[in-house]
Amino acid sequence: MEKLLSSLNDKQIEAVTTTEGPLLVLAGAGSGKTTVLVNRIAYIIAKHRVSPYNILAITFTNKAAKEMKDRITNLLGNVSDGMWIGTFHSVCVRILRTTIDLLGYTRDFVIYDGADTKTLLKDCLKELDLDEKNFPIRNVSSVISSAKNDMMEPDTFEREYKNDYRMNIISRIYKLYQAKLRANNALDFDDIILFTVKILSQNPDVLMKYQSRFEYVLVDEYQDTNNTQYNLIKLLSDGYRNICVVGDDDQSIYKFRGANINNILNFQDDFQNAKVIRLEQNYRSTQTILNAANTVIDNNRERMGKNLWTDNGEGKKITAYTGTNEYDEGKFIANKIKEHCNAGGKYSDCAVLYRTNAQSRVIEEMLMRSSVPYRVLAGLRFYDRKEIKDIIAYLRLIHNPHDDLSLKRIINEPKRKIGNATVEKAQRLANENNCGVFDIICMADTFPELKSAAQRLKDFAALMVGLITKKDNMKLSEFVKKVMDQTGYLGSLTAEQSIENQTRIDNLEEFMSVVSEFESSPDYNGTLSELLENISLVSDLDALDEDIDSAVLMTIHSAKGLEFPVVFLAGFEEGLFPGLRSMGDDEDLEEERRLCYVAITRAKEELYLTKTHSRTIFGRTSPARASRFFDEIPKEYLDEQEDKPSIFERAQNKIGISYIPPTRTQSKHSYDDEKTEIDFKAGDRVLHRKFGEGTIISAQAFGSDAILQINFDSIGQKQLMAAFAKLKKIKKG
């Protein structure tokens, strides 16, 4: 027994040995909560001679459950075989396999995944003669899921929203959806927990069976539980009341998934005579990093309170870097990662965290330019995201109507009632006639095989032909926006008010930033073919093997539970982190601050906070201001660094020209290294590769360069830097 406790600190020992009655272990980041859970189970078995059969341990992931089993086995041997250790869903399925007949199902029920439920909801809309544009599947699914997590079955939901027109219609969908599930003897993921709670609540004999069995109940990540999960835990533990939950109110960041922070905040009210033990010793980070995390989270009012400390030493100060723009930020991150590796570290030591996926695009480009290997975790590379690939497929088809691959990707995206069977028929006809699929759909009414879908196919072809005729007659950014609008792609996303779709819209707006930056570059003519070629140079660098040494990029949400020696927190600015949508709501703002706390405490040795003077994101360029969370960190913990704009960059800002760093296809030399001869004066006729011929109106010296005011014959006046414009003099003035 002494050996079991010898490696634990005093508070961990108290948490392990306090076995009777309700217990909340408030475990700060990096405080060894898994160690406490595993040793507590081993202690209960060894000290109290409790059978593993009488212990229930609930986690949130299969990985966590497996780790717990393995560690208990290492401590006590194969005692975990008779113990229930699993996720909420796996535990409930075990109960339902022997009890679900009480609800009129048979025990060989099936579980529908997300794709299955989507198909079933589509059938419901069709049967109810409802338009999916007015009732998007994802939105309806989200409403139904929320209802189930609040223990609201169809009849209750209908009564609750009888005076709300839209929700009343959704209640009809919900009722039909559940009827179809029952007819198929199927459950969705929300039903698994909901039905278990229902059976336990309505059948005292079943409840007593499980309450009698589970003498000790342990729950991990309690701050992430929703209302249904809370009810399940309460029911199962009310027999012996030996309930131990481990969690951290300061790391509750999943409100959007239904998590209810009040479950952990109100634990002492919900479980009478509950004891609270705080684990505040951190084994992960330096004290400087912890001091920053402590001071930030202390600004939240809805918290139980704790103060992290460590024996790891003070460590380095936190580097707070301010760049001119997001490209400087990305370059700084890339350089620091290379410095770390040159000093003997590994790329995989480094993690770049950001609040929104749209931020990754510029960071990815700068890492690639610096030859820093990286991979994106719990997400996709910017150009691999579905919405970006869809829009690129549209542009490729417009550029080349014979691109059958792109056509197949988007012919029914958004939905146009053109199914796979129809596309397969068109492909077969194209093969027989030795032509492209687009050629076939343009004359779909001449093929009997396509008769039923002929009009829809011709409508799509007409849409594409109309866009093809416009591609060379419009400014590129305006044309890409028109493609998003006229194809209905953007409209299909805005019609559905969901977090997922808002993220997709944000990514499309970021894609517009790509187009605008490309369009502004004097090294390109701004044509569609050049844009597609430029994108290919970036997106063709496929995802790297996860086994190789590479830096990792991810959202802060995805980083929870992970740790890295070196962490970069990018975009530490108001409106980005915290986001604009959270600023008007105190609860949302506190959750954003908890997210910041999570981000800071991922760092073990070095932490970098990066921000910019101005940022282009979601298609807009605007001045950037430091995050309020940055202002909450005392200056004594910071080493503040700033990248002063160069003379060239200040000139561009002064005359309103956006700075676009060289792309992979541009010169590898910096602008300061180029030996362009500056010899222009008013009256000179010049030729620009993009803007054509023009006359210089004025030439103002600026350091070793010159600011030129040029009246171009085709587009009017422009201001350019002489060294950057690469003008050819046609005639002296």
Residue of 59, 178, 225, 251 marked catalytic: 251
Q: Could you tell me where the beta strands, DSSP code E, fall in 543-602?
A: 551-555, 564-569
Residue of 17, 18, 34, 663 marked catalytic: 34
Q: Give, as one character, the DSSP assignment of residue 82.
A: G
Contact call for residues 565 and 345 (beta carbons, < 8 A): yes
114: Cβ contacts below 8 Å, ≥ 6 apart = none
Identify the bridge partners of residue 708 per DSSP, sorted by sequence position. Answer: 699, 720
By DSSP bridging, strand 692-702 and strand 705-712 are antiparallel
In angstroms, rounded to a whole number, what is the distance separating the alpha carbons of residues 719 and 652? 9
b/e 478-494 (16+ beta carbons within 10 angstroms → b):
ebbbebbebbbbbebbe
Contact call for residues 215 and 50 (beta carbons, < 8 A): yes
Q: Could you tell me where the beta strands, DSSP code E, fall in 240-379?
A: 243-247, 275-279, 318-323, 350-354, 374-376
Annotation says 251 is catalytic: yes
Residue of 306, 381, 385, 602 marked catalytic: 602
Distances (CA, A) of 398 to 403, 411, 729: 9, 12, 36
Contact call for residues 456 and 416 (beta carbons, < 8 A): yes
Annotation says 175 is catalytic: no
Q: Phi and psi of 55, rounded to 5°?
A: -120, 135
Q: Phi and psi of 426, rounded to 5°?
A: -65, -40
Residue of 11, 33, 504, 611 marked catalytic: 33
**Does an H or E element contain 333, and which?**
helix 326-342
In angstroms, rounded to a whole number, what is the distance separating the alpha carbons of residues 353 and 566? 11
Tokens of 19: 């076995």
Contact call for residues 206 and 200 (beta carbons, < 8 A): yes
Distances (CA, A) of 283 to 7, 38, 69, 84, 625: 13, 17, 22, 29, 33
Residue of 221, 250, 510, 684 marked catalytic: 221
Decide: helix, strand or coil at residue 356.
coil
Contact call for residues 395 and 531 (beta carbons, < 8 A): yes
Instruction: For residue 494, give the amino acid letter.
Output: T
Q: Phi and psi of 304, rounded to 5°?
A: -85, -25
- Which of 685, 693, 688 is CA-nearest to residue 720? 688
**Does an H or E element contain 49, and which?**
none
Distance of CA 529 to the CA centre of its chain: 30
Tokens of 575: 């409106």
- Residue in the block written with tokens 């007409």: 462
Contact call for residues 571 and 625 (beta carbons, < 8 A): no
Annotation says 158 is catalytic: no
- Which of 120, 118, 111, 100 is CA-nearest to residue 188? 111
Residue of 132, 190, 191, 220 marked catalytic: 220
Annotation says 220 is catalytic: yes
- Which of 147, 146, 164 is CA-nearest to residue 156? 147
Q: Phi and psi of 620, rounded to 5°?
A: -125, 140
Contact call for residues 29 and 293 (beta carbons, < 8 A): yes
In angstroms, rounded to a whole number, what is the distance separating the alpha carbons of residues 232 and 195? 10
In angstroms, rounded to a whole number, what is the distance separating the alpha carbons of residues 529 and 116? 39
Distance of CA 382 to the CA centre of its chain: 11
Annotation says 625 is catalytic: no
By DSSP bridging, strand 216-219 and strand 55-59 are parallel
177: Cβ contacts below 8 Å, ≥ 6 apart = 120, 121, 124, 144
Tokens of 453: 């879908």
Annotation says 709 is catalytic: no
Q: What are the catalytic residues?
A: 33-34, 220-221, 251, 602
